[in-house]
Amino acid sequence: MKKVGIALLGLGVVGSGTYRILESKKEKIMRDFGVELEVRHVLEKDTSKAVALGIDLSKVSCDIENVVKDDKISVVAEFFGGIEPARTFLLAVLKAGKSIVTSNKELFSKHWPELEAAAKETGAGIYFEASCGGGVPIIRALHESCQGNDILEIKGIVNGTTNYILSNMSEHGSDYAETLKEAQKLGYAEANPSADVDGFDSTYKLSILSSLAFNKRVPYTSIYREGISKVTIDDIKFGKEFGLTVKLLAISKNVNGKIEAHVYPAFIPDDHPLAKVSGAFNGIYVVGDNVGELMFYGKGAGDLPTGSAIVSDIVYAATRAEHRRYPFILEAEAQDFNDDFVSEYFLRLTVKDETGVLSAITGILGKAGISIDSMVQKAGSNGKATLAFVTQKTTELTFRKALSELEAAPCVTEINSVIRVEK
Ligand code: HSE
């Protein structure tokens, strides 16, 4: 039987999960795919992690040369996360003709062309199913199962930590900071919470998904980004009155040949399939021109779910005679994007509780050509009231202009929040 040597770079949460799956499914993989996968080397400085997994310490070191020089290793799975040393190590193993498997969305979204070029030179493969959606098989689905379509839209909840936080705030009225700590304890969160809560992690993943969908590299820097730190329990409560649920969405659309790519918290109708994606789960909604709507759902983080996608890539890499290539080098340019996109908006204002205030506000919106879909008004204390609106469709620039007029209006005490609504 064909025997393929594997190296694991790091034995953190996902590295350990991957090792456990490789061990528990060894016989099954031999039976079903005709290949024996043998872990020949592990890079890990904390040897107690290797001991806990029963890995012989003769296979553990901190020296990438032990991987590069071993001719029997042909697939290397990386679990370090971040850019360095992952980038240097992966380039070295690609140059040695070994295929790489990674869940490292940051590295992949920032250095994909460099990795692809190194892989092409030696004929090695690059596999990154686990980089987006953890265990959810979205990469292969987009690349290998939707060829008969133009992808029109991707709308995803691709960060488990923020979904866990927003779901807990929404379902239990939980505190933001406490819930973030819980997510970190459960192993969902990135080492630096900003990567999750400020939307960077989602932006990296959307860059990868959009590049596959539109066959043009969509740099993460071209994706508009807002995190969840400004979403409050009050927004969530008002949203409920409008039948809306808030989610951190990674959205990319092909609108008349122009790309619109954004990561921001958005309200979606309670009956949208993504509204039911709760806790640390991920959900990715895709629309193709022929297939119509598709929905992918599952665990987006964690040892065994992400390990499941990594092992799938290892089996692919170990059994392919030729690895798939990503021919696009073409980078999407400024003219490929549309910044003045159309959306509906949720707007919450604190205003003076006086006669004529409502008509002044609706007057400003009306003059800007913004039509109101629904409104809720609540009297507060100290002569103040809260107004919450959901608008009908308008463009971002039109809305921004109206917002600055509202800011300047004497009857408006504060603009509390603006959240886009995706219907
Ligand atoms: N921090 C990420 C998340 C882990 O919360 O989804 C998986 O990429």
Domain harbouring 149, CATH code: 3.30.360.10
CB atoms within 10 A of CB 134: 28
Q: What pairs with residue 341 in β-bridges?
A: none
Closest ligand 1 atom to the C-alpha of 195?
1
Residue 311 lies in a domain: no
pLDDT class for 186, splitting at 50, 70, 90?
A: confident
Least confident of 26-35, 173-182, 222-231, 239-248: 173-182
Q: Give the number of other Cβ atoms within 10 Å of residue 330's Cβ.
A: 10
Task: Report pLDDT digits (tens) over 76-94.
Answer: 999 999 999 999 999 999 9
**Whole-angstrom Cα distance, residue 421 to residue 423?**
6
Count: domains in the chain: 3
- Output the ligand 1 site: residues, CB below 6 A: 134, 159-161, 188-190, 196, 201, 300-301
Residue 304 lies inside a defined structural domain of this protein: no
Atom of ligand 1 nearest to the CA of 132: 8
Identify whether residues 145 and 294 lie together within a single domain: yes
Q: In angstroms, how far is CA 46 from the centroid of its own chain?
A: 29
pLDDT tens per residue across span 227-272: 999 999 999 999 999 999 999 999 999 998 899 999 999 999 999 9
- Whole-number Å distance, alpha carbon 299 to ligand 1 midpoint, is 10
Closest CA to 314 of 130, 134, 144: 130
DSSP H or E stretch at residue 283: strand 281-288
Ligand 1 atom nearest 301 alpha carbon? 7
Same domain (yes/no): 12, 45: yes
Final residue before a domain boundary, out of 299, 315, 332: 299
175 and 218 in a single domain? The answer is yes
Identify the pLDDT of residue 184.
Answer: 84
Do the beta carbons of residue 248 and residue 164 sit within 8 Å?
no
Q: What spacing in Å lies between the alpha carbon of 400 and ligand 1's midpoint?
A: 32
Residues 144 and 280 in one domain: yes
Phi, psi of 376 (to 5 degrees): -130, 140
Closest atom of ligand 1 to CA, residue 161: 5
**Cα of 219 vs its chain's centroid, Å:** 14
Least confident of 71-75, 185-189, 240-244, 375-379: 185-189
Grouping H, G, I as helix, E, B as strand and the rest as coil, residue 148 is coil
Task: Decide which of 111, 131, 151 is a domain's last residue.
Answer: 131
Asked whether residue 162 falls in the same domain as residue 244, the answer is yes
CA of 208 to the centre of ligand 1 (A): 15
CA angle (419, 420, 421) in 5-degree steps? 120
Residue 203, Cβ density class (10 Å: 0-12 exposed, 13-18 middle, ≥19 buried): buried
Q: 125 C-alpha vs ligand 1 centroid, how far in Å?
A: 24
Mutate which of 138, 198, 201 for ligand 1 pocket (most atoms within 8 A of beta carbon): 201
Instruction: Out of 190, 247, 277, give the residue to mutate to test ligand 1, the one with the largest number of ligand atoms within 8 Å of its CB.
Output: 190
- Residues facing 291 on adjacent strands: none
Place of tokens 């927004």: 235
- Do 19 and 153 belong together in one domain? no
> What CATH number corresponds to the domain at position 381?
3.30.70.260
Q: Are 67 and 93 in contact (CB under 8 A)?
A: yes
In a domain, 363, yes or no: yes
What is the 204 CA–ligand 1 centroid distance (Å)?
A: 11
Rounded distance, CA 223 to CA 356, Å? 40
Percentage of the residues of the chain whose pLDDT score is greater than 90: 87
Same domain, 144 and 126: no
Q: Are residues 161 and 294 in the same domain?
A: yes
How far apart (Å, rounded) are the C-alpha atoms in residues 350 and 383? 10
Residue 38 CB neighbours (<10 A): 13
Over the chain, what is the mean pLDDT?
95
Q: What is the mean pLDDT of residues 22-42?
A: 98
Residue 349 has pLDDT above 90, yes or no: yes
Mean pLDDT of 5-14: 97
Do both 154 and 290 map to the same domain? yes
Query: Is 329 a domain residue?
Result: no
Domain with 31 in it: 2-131
User: What pTM was computed for the model?
Assistant: 0.95
Last residue of a domain, which of 131, 158, 176? 131
Question: Atom of ligand 1 at shortest distance to CA of 188?
Answer: 5
Return the residue whose CA atom lies nearest to atom 7 of ligand 1. Answer: 301
Q: Quick one: pLDDT at residue 374? A: 97
383 conformational bin, left if phi > 0, alpha if psi -120 to 50, beta if neither: left
Q: What is the mean pLDDT of residues 313-339?
A: 86
Q: What span, in angstroms and rounded, lies between the C-alpha atoms of 401 and 135?
A: 42
Catalytic site positions: 205
Q: Let me know whether 144 and 127 are in one domain.
A: no
Report the C-alpha gap between 346 and 375 in whole angstroms: 9
Candidate from 14, 161, 180, 192 with most ligand 1 atoms within 8 A of CB, to mutate: 161
Supply the CATH number for residue 115's domain. 3.40.50.720
Q: How remote is the CA of residue 278 from the centroid of ligand 1, in Å?
A: 14
Residues 111 and 156 in one domain: no
Domain for residue 310, yes or no?
A: no
pLDDT band of 329, cuts 50, 70, 90? low
Helix (H, G, I), strand (E, B), or coil: what is residue 79? Answer: coil
Answer whether residue 51 is part of any domain: yes
DSSP β-bridge partners for residue 99 = 75
Residues 6+ apart with CB under 8 A from 113: 217, 329
Q: For ligand 1, what atom is nearest to the CA of residue 190? A: 1
Compute, in angstroms, the gap from residue 53 CA to the centroid of ligand 1. Answer: 24
Same domain for 208 and 350: no
Q: How far is the CA of 194 from the centre of ligand 1 (A)?
A: 12
Domain annotation covers residue 290:
yes
Protein residue with its CA nearest to atom 8 in ligand 1: 301
Which helix (H) or strand (E) segment is 415 a member of? strand 412-421
